[in-house]
Structure formats: C-alpha cells, structure tokens
C-alpha cells in the first residue's frame, strides 16, 4: 500500500562550519528522526574532501580549473561522497533515506536544486555566485582568466537543466523572489530571473519553490499564481535550505517537506517517479490533498467555462494541534473560491463554477494559531499547499516558443567554408548548413544552441536565448534590482509577480539575429 512520505529538499551538509563532520552526521540522523523525515536530499559541500576541493578550485586555483588544462572530473571525490551516504543510511537504520542533491547557484540568473541529481561534475562546476562569469559576448559581467586571457565562462542553465533532464533528474527553481541589500547600498540577488525564459522555451517548468524560508511566503505564491494564470504547468515544491553542520541543528524547526505517495522501501528512483507525477503537497506538517471531479492534484481536468465541478479536500492539522484555523480553495488570479475556518480535520466537498480558462484549483491551509492577515509572513508558522488541478479546454497546450532566427555572414567572414550546426539544449542534432555569404533564416526551439565549425579555427558555441540582448533587458530588470524603481518600498524577498514580465520575455525570444 502506498504511504505519504515527507521529503526534505534543498540542503547543505557542510556550510556553517559550526559542528565537526562526524557530529554533523549524528545530528542529521537525529534531526530527521525528530521531524519524521522519510527522505532527505543532501546538498554540497558534502564532506571534508570535496569541500576542500571546492574551496581550492573555486577560489585559489579557479583559473586553472576553468582553463581547460585540467580534467574537472579528476576532483569529483566519488569514493568519499559514497562513504558519506553509506554512513548516513547505515546510521538511520532504514528510518530515513539519504540521497545526493546539489544546488547550482548562478546568482543573477537564480538557483536550482534537484530530485535525481546526476553527479556529472564537481559540485561547484556551474557556480557563478561569488565571482563574475560571462555568458554571452557582450556580457558586462566578466573576469579575465589569467591562464587563457579570456573571460571566465561556465555552462548556461539551458545546458545544465537539459543535461540533468536527459539523465532523468528534475530541476526545481529555488527561493524565486529572494534578494536583499548588502548593507552598503548594494543589491544582492538570488531571484530566479531565468525561470520564465525556461518556462517559455520548454513549455513548462519541472518545479518551482512555493514554500521556503517561511511557511507562508506570499511572494512565492503570487508568482506561482501569475505563471499558472497563463495556463503553464508549474509544479510547486517546498524547500528547507538547511545547513546541517549548525551547532544546534536539533532545534531547527523550519522543516518544510514535500509529501508524496510512495509504496514499499524508499529509493531515489521511486522518489523521482513520484515527483514527476506532481501529485504531492508542500507542508510544514499538516496533511492536505485535493481532487477535482476525481482528478488528483497535479493532473489536468478538461472542462469548459461555466461548468460545475466538485472539489474534494482531505485535510488534518499539524501533529499536536487541534484544528486548522483556515482552509482555502484558490483559483485563477489567486482568487479565494471557498474558505472554511476552524476545521478539525476530515473530508470536505465544494461545488465550484469553472472560471475563465485556463483555470486551476489549489488547496491551502494554515495552522491552528496562524492568521492569513498577519503583519509579517514570518508570524505564520504553519501552512500547507497542494499542487494545482489544472482546468483546461480539451486540446489546450502551453506551447514552447520557437525563435525565428536570421544569421548573416559577410563576404569577409572568417567562417566561410565552415558549417553552422544547430542542436537542442542537450546537444541533440537538429540541422546543419554549409556557411556562405548572405543570410540564413531558420526557425529553432528557443532553448537551442548553435556551433560554428571550421577546420583550422576554434569552434564557437552559444545558446541563442543567452545571446539575445532583448532577453537580457528583462533578466536585468530582475537581477539588477531595476524593478525597485517601479515598485518602491519593497522589502527583501518581495518581487511583484508582474516584474517577471512573461509576455515581454516571450516576445523577446521570438526573434533573434546575429552577424558574423
């Protein structure tokens, strides 16, 4: 029989440096038992050897690591990392499954973590959090590598996500509206500025955090509703973002988990399979599920505007609490469709009228002592959110954007006689052409990349979206904090959903031209 399992996601094994490594392992196992964690994704730095290599090659020998003169895979420390997970799973005695995760922080473009993460490079391989990295020719963010004489570059997120997806992993956009000030007037961003680009290029997001830092994060939810209003498939997830080597880990109670139905002995493969069904809920402890006309959360219900549908909610309070202070059903635009207060737990049914399509229904609850109008969202200690039941016209599809491209080669172009090769984001071949003077027009997936190849010349490769200046105008609006000029008075972590500019980004990636 399938059971509901609580999965902790987005974590760091060693980061605060407050507790010795061996103690940290013991504390982590005890913490998972205290909070009834069925499985935990453990993010980097994982253990002392890989942590040491991270510090050395991301700081001391950064130029060497990125120069092409050493093999990055030579410092992957697989043996030491395997021992960590063997130790944790032995110590937990089957009560918690520990599996490998990693966070890719790319500062201005956002952060990602994974279910089913493929350890294909060292943890820091794709970082661009603390030092400048260039992602396109005119990128003002640059630092010259002393060995190559060229700007530091790393893999674009389009490549990272596509490569992980090809290996079976699921990428989740972390803390999507996170930003703060550095105390000196500087703007520090962890905003998921690139998420909308991926949504439009792929036609979906595999996941976005809707609960994290706080149990009830208003801006995460508002961004979620904004994206869902366009008819997009955007599964919502919880993240804990804990550092497990903090001295008093056992007292850390900001435990936000993703609850999934999984039968039998847990495994990484079973968790990934459950994640891909999107039939889970995010919660700080309460139980909450949703069906609409027998379609479970995460599923699609074909209907028409004005139809009557029945929503069935099963909800129970956080352990130790007597009631749910408030249960809401939420629809298009974040509108509250129905509310029940002071609910002690059980099954409720609501008859709802389908609104303008595409539509959706989400269930949400608050803890016994929590109030939706609390002055600070930090005062709301407990909340739960289901994934949506998507309500659409039969045949509706949120389609990936295609980019109408024009590549112009002058009579003096150094690429004459070479080939231009078009590939998907993960490197799968699409098309190629012999290069000659004139214009080459082609329609490509917005996530596509191209390679220019000629005997005797160094290969040139880039992603068309990342080379598109019009796209970066909208990404900068977020990651440079330009939105604060239009929305003054915002506090750290607050970003209006409209600032993500989905329609404008869609228009920007619809065309691209470049001359050589």
Evaluate whether the domain defined by 288-396 bears CATH number 2.60.40.1930. yes
pLDDT per residue over 228-268, tens digit each? 999 999 999 999 999 999 999 999 998 999 999 999 999 99
Q: Tokens 């049914």 belong to which residue?
A: 349
**What is the pLDDT averaged over residues 60-84?**
96
Tokens at 327, concatenated: 């249960």
Tokens at 131, concatenated: 């030092």
Q: What percent of the chain has pLDDT over 90?
A: 97
CA separation for the pair 61, 52 (Å, rounded): 12
- So what's the pLDDT on residue 1? 45
Sketch the domain layout of the chain as residue ranges.
2-174+239-284, 288-396
Helix segments in 353-487, DSSP class H: 469-479, 483-486
Least confident among 127-131, 204-208, 294-298, 508-512:
127-131
Higher pLDDT, 2 or 9: 9
Average of per-residue pLDDT values in the chain: 97
Which residues have CB under 8 Å from 358's CB, separation 6+?
228, 229, 230, 231, 332, 390, 391, 392, 393, 396, 398
The alpha carbon dihedral of 410, 411, 413, 417 has a sign of positive
pLDDT per residue over 383-428, tens digit each? 999 999 999 999 999 999 999 999 999 999 999 999 999 999 999 9
- So what's the pLDDT on residue 2? 61
pLDDT per residue over 128-156, tens digit each? 988 899 998 889 999 999 999 999 999 99
Q: Which whole-number Å values give the CA distances from 376 to 225, 413, 492, in the listed order?
A: 20, 59, 13
**What is the pLDDT averaged over residues 2-16?**
94
Q: Which of 105, 121, 192 is nearest to 113 (CA)?
A: 105
On whether the pTM is more than 0.95, the answer is yes
Q: Would you list the DSSP string of 79-131?
A: HHHHHHHHHHHHHHTTSSEEEE---EE-GGG-EEEEES----S-TTTT--SSS
Are 280 and 299 in contact by the 8 Å Cβ rule? The answer is no
Class of domain 2-174+239-284: alpha beta
Q: Tokens 């994206």 belong to which residue?
A: 227
Q: Tokens 């990125």 belong to which residue?
A: 66
């Amino acid at each position: 029989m399938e059971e509901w399992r609580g999965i902790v996601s987005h974590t760091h094994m060693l980061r605060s440096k407050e507790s010795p490594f061996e103690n940290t392992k013991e504390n982590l196992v005890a913490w998972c038992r205290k909070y009834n964690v069925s499985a935990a994704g453990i993010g980097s730095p994982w253990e002392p050897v890989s942590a040491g290599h991270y510090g050395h090659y991301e700081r001391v020998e950064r130029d060497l690591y990125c120069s092409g003169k050493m093999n990055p895979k030579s410092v992957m420390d697989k043996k030491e990392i395997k021992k960590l997970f063997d130790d944790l799973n032995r110590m937990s005695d089957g009560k918690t499954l520990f599996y490998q995760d990693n966070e890719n922080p790319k500062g201005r473009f956002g952060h990602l973590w994974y279910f089913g993460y493929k350890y294909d490079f060292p943890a820091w391989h794709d970082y661009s959090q603390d030092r400048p990295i260039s992602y396109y020719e005119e990128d003002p963010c640059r630092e010259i590598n002393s060995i190559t004489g060229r700007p530091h570059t790393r893999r674009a997120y389009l490549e990272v996500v596509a490569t992980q997806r090809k290996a079976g992993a699921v990428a989740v956009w972390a803390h999507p509206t996170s930003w703060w000030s550095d105390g000196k007037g500087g703007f520090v961003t962890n905003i998921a500025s690139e998420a909308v680009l991926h949504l439009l290029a792929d036609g979906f997001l595999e996941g976005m955090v809707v609960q994290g830092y706080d149990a009830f994060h208003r801006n995460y939810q508002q961004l979620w509703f904004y994206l869902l209003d366009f008819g997009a498939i955007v599964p919502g997830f919880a993240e804990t973002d804990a550092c497990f080597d903090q001295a008093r880990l056992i007292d850390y109670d900001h435990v936000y988990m993703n609850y999934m139905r999984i039968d039998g002995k847990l495994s990484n493969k079973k968790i990934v399979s459950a994640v891909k069904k999107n039939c889970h809920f995010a919660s700080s402890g309460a139980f909450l599920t949703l069906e609409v006309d027998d379609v479970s959360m995460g599923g699609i219900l074909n209907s028409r505007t004005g139809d009557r549908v029945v929503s069935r909610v099963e909800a129970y309070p956080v352990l130790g609490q007597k009631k749910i202070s408030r249960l809401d059903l939420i629809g298009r635009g974040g509108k509250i469709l129905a509310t029940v207060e002071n609910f002690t737990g059980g099954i409720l049914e609501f008859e709802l009228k389908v609104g303008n399509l595409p539509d959706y229904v989400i269930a949400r609850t608050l803890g016994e002592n929590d109030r939706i109008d609390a002055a600070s969202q930090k005062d709301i200690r407990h909340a739960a959110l289901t994934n949506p039941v998507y309500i659409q016209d039969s045949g509706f599809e949120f389609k990936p954007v295609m980019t109408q491209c024009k590549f112009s080669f002058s009579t003096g172009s150094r690429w004459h006689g070479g080939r231009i090769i078009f590939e998907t984001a993960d490197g799968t071949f699409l098309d190629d052409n012999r290069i000659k003077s004139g214009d080459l027009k082609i329609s490509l997936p917005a996530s596509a990349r191209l390679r220019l190849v000629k005997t005797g010349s160094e290969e040139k490769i880039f992603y068309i979206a990342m080379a598109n200046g019009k796209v970066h105008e909208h990404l900068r609006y977020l990651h440079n904090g330009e939105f604060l000029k239009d929305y003054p008075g915002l506090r750290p972590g607050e970003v209006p959903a409209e600032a993500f500019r989905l329609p404008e980004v869609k228009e920007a990636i619809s065309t691209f031209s470049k001359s050589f």
